[in-house]
Amino acid sequence: MQRIILHSDANSFYASVECAEHPGLRGKPVAVCGDPEARHGIVLTKNQNAKAYGIKTGEAIWQAKQKCPNLVVVPPDYPKYVAYSKRMREIYETYTDCVEAFGLDENWLDISHPDMDMRLAEMTANDIRKRIAGELGITVSVGVSFNKVFAKLGSDYKKPDAVTVITEENFRRIVWPLPASDLIYVGPRTARKLMEIGIITIGQLANAETDMLKMKFGVNGMMLKAFALGLDKSRVMKIDEKEIIKSIGNSSTPPHDIETIRDAKCMIYLLSESVAARLRENGFRAKCVSISVRDTGLSVCGCQRTLERPSQLSGEIAEAAFRLFMEKYMDHLPLRSMGVSCARLVSADEPKQMDIFGVSEREIKRENLESAIDSLRTRYGHQVVRRGIVMFDKAFAQINPKEEQTIHPVGFLKDDRVKYAAPKQKE
């Protein structure tokens, strides 16, 4: 049976939803932007009319308005976007029980069936596209292929409101001329490293020497080459499968720049408390803590550290994050925003090794204390209990980062045990 995967990607999702909800916006350049009063004033997404002016995601509102003075700026409404995402998924589930989300606006569908071929798959993709346009008033682009990687490339290939079919016969013609950065998991840093060794296109990646890629990128280099060769075998999850949580993290832009070490320590403790609360809420301890910083020029960098013992304690997470800051980023001040994240999660039910010094016993008491604080905050609000460090700045003291919490599921490779064997070199 031929494997047939679809990848459906909503075009300019947030902006499209706003135009669907407010017909008066249709035909106008629209950008969904963060709140400038809270210093989140950047473009989150924009519609096709705004794209025509050269407006880019991530740039400041004032920059966007310089390009397009008549730009309509709309604040984000996340509950509304979640509702639309759910409605899209309900449509997908009428076609298959294998539907896997990749963010709010993207989904893979496995429609493999003994009677299904690429011609029927293209018809199915067009049917989905028309249903979403008719029932929700937004558009999607759909990629049709024999694996998840190329299906995603197909949904990006033609936008908006289009279907692209990538087969085993035509993928070299369609996929290989594309930039290597178009391939999933080739981020800006990896793309730069590939460019340094003369690899610019996906085709060049596919035909690169395996040993060289392994030496430069490790197992990820072999995985990316396998993707470029069309050898991706990762499956689409069934709708009743629970996503595995990979990491829990949070970042926040405070009311004013982080100018001093005390400001940074305050933000780190605020973020660490929210991350620790989510770890406890989801039944995890973390083995790894990472921080990210964004300076006033909007450049982002980050680093991580392994903990001595898995932890869900806000103090231990904050101390590790603050040490990282002092070692790596103290000279980067002032900063516009910061983030704290925990990874390498283990179940909180795993037994703890007790010790003769009573360290484990004290940790258990601190976990019980923080769980009690979680209960108080749930009942009376986040501000009912606050650390002394955050009271030095009234603006920081009002931040409730837990509401902005981010939980990161395994978005693509569901099984860490999957290893990509080195593809054989072409003769």
Domains of the chain, CATH where assigned: 1-166 (3.30.70.270), 176-240 (1.10.150.20), 245-409 (3.30.1490.100)
Distance CA 184, CA 227 (A): 9
pLDDT at 197 over 90: yes
Residue 409 three-state SS: strand
What count of Cα atoms within 13 Å lies in the side-chain half-sphere of residue 142? 25
Q: Look up residue 383 and give its two tokens.
A: 């501000």
Distance CA 305, CA 323 (A): 9
pLDDT at 317: 92
| Residue keyed to tokens 């989904």 | 107
Q: What is the mean pLDDT of the chain?
A: 85
- How far is C-alpha 260 from the geometric centre of its chain's CA atoms? 29
Of 131-145, 251-265, 317-331, the range with the highest mean pLDDT is 131-145
Residue of 106, 316, 367, 370 marked active site: 106
| Residue keyed to tokens 């409101």 | 161
Alpha helices in 137-257 (DSSP H): 148-157, 171-174, 188-196, 202-206, 210-217, 219-228
Q: What is the total residue count of the chain?
A: 427
**Does residue 296 or residue 61 have the better pLDDT?**
61
Is 196 assigned a catalytic role?
Answer: no
What count of Cα atoms within 13 Å lies in the side-chain half-sphere of residue 192? 2
Residue 33 three-state SS: strand
Percent of the chain with pLDDT over 90: 48
* Average pLDDT of the segment spanning 78-103: 93
pLDDT at 255: 73
pLDDT at 106: 94
* Average pLDDT of the segment spanning 159-180: 96
From 186, 175, 170, select the one nearest 223 (Cα to Cα). 186
pLDDT at 368 over 90: no
* Average pLDDT of the segment spanning 1-24: 94
* Average pLDDT of the segment spanning 94-111: 93
Alpha helices in 242-348 (DSSP H): 261-281, 314-328
pLDDT at 357: 54
Q: What is the pTM of this model?
A: 0.69
Categorize the per-residue pLDDT at 152 as very low, low, confident or very high, splitting at 50, 70 and 90.
Answer: very high
How many of the other CB atoms lie within 10 Å of CB of 348? Answer: 15
Q: Look up residue 422 and give its two tokens.
A: 């080195």
Of 102-116, 347-361, 400-414, the range with the highest mean pLDDT is 102-116
Distance CA 291, CA 275 (A): 12
pLDDT at 174: 97
Distance CA 413, CA 421 (A): 15
From residue 181, alpha-carbon distances to 195, 255, 340 in Å are 10, 35, 27
Distance CA 15, CA 46 (A): 6
| Residue keyed to tokens 């902005």 | 404
* Average pLDDT of the segment spanning 297-316: 85
Categorize the per-residue pLDDT at 162 as very low, low, confident or very high, splitting at 50, 70 and 90.
Answer: very high
From 331, 317, 309, 227, select the one nearest 279 (Cα to Cα). 317
